[in-house]
Chain A
């Protein structure tokens, strides 16, 4: 079954404590992306990756890091989380430029 998995699904943490949200896909897709969703602002792209070892900034990359060492995994790293990073995060993948995106189930992060 085609899947995009995210872990953890829910996380409450404190300001400054480094965390990683993992994203994994089993569809051999080249393109992966991270989004955050906030009320009234909709979904905004944080980072994306066109292929292994190729990553680029989206609209709101400040405070986040990513890496793409393997095709299937695209972790999102918050080195020093702050309360304004409290949000619902989605990972998404697609086969290439002109294809539909498949979204993970979401990770709800609260930073206190």
Chain B
């Protein structure tokens, strides 16, 4: 079993829909990261959080430390949100462990 599990693996949504991507982890962590990877391959850090909730524009990330679970929400989704979203956790010695990603396709 992977230390970081994401669901769903693939997601198709229509423009305007509210999207939720989930991440569960099984190890002790100091922080959880949400990353975005566009089809060209580049990776951008969206959020780093260790408790509570963060918001940036239409994106919201939450974490529940007791349940070892995080969610990434996208409100009013748009085709430009189409990307792979990756959850990662920082454990011991600053080591990052990654989920395998959720591929999101937003259609018109």
A100 to B95 Cα, complex, angstroms = 12
B42 close to A (CB within 8 Å): yes
A-B pair count, CB < 8 Å, reads: 53
Number of interface residues of A (CB under 8 A): 26
Interface residue SS majority, chain B: strand
Interface string of A81-112 (1 = CB under 8 A from B): 00000001010100001111111011010000
B86 close to A (CB within 8 Å): yes
Q: Nearest Cβ in chain B — how far from A75, in angstroms?
A: 20
Instruction: List, in ascending order, chain A residues with CB within 8 A of B101's CB.
Output: 42
Interface residue SS majority, chain A: strand
Evaluate contact between A50 and B94: CB separation under 8 angstroms.
Answer: yes
Q: Nearest Cβ in chain B — how far from A93, in angstroms?
A: 11
Instruction: List, in ascending order, chain A residues with CB within 8 A of B97's CB.
Output: 45
A87 to B88 Cα, complex, angstroms = 20
Chain B positions 5-52 with a Cβ under 8 Å from a chain A Cβ: 30-31, 33, 35, 41-45, 48, 50
A65 close to B (CB within 8 Å): no
Instruction: List, in ascending order, chain B residues with CB within 8 A of A35's CB.
Output: 96, 98
Q: Kindly identify which residue among A44, A98, A106, A108 contacts B42, using a CB–CB cutoff of 8 Å.
A: A106
Q: Nearest Cβ in chain B — how far from A77, in angstroms?
A: 21
Which residue of A has the minimal Cβ distance to B100?
A: A42
- Please name 16 further chain A to chain B contacts, defined as beta carbons within 8 Å, in addition to the given A101-B45, A106-B41, A106-B43, sorted by A numbering: A33-B96, A35-B96, A42-B98, A43-B88, A44-B98, A50-B94, A88-B41, A90-B43, A98-B30, A98-B31, A99-B48, A102-B45, A103-B43, A105-B42, A106-B42, A108-B41
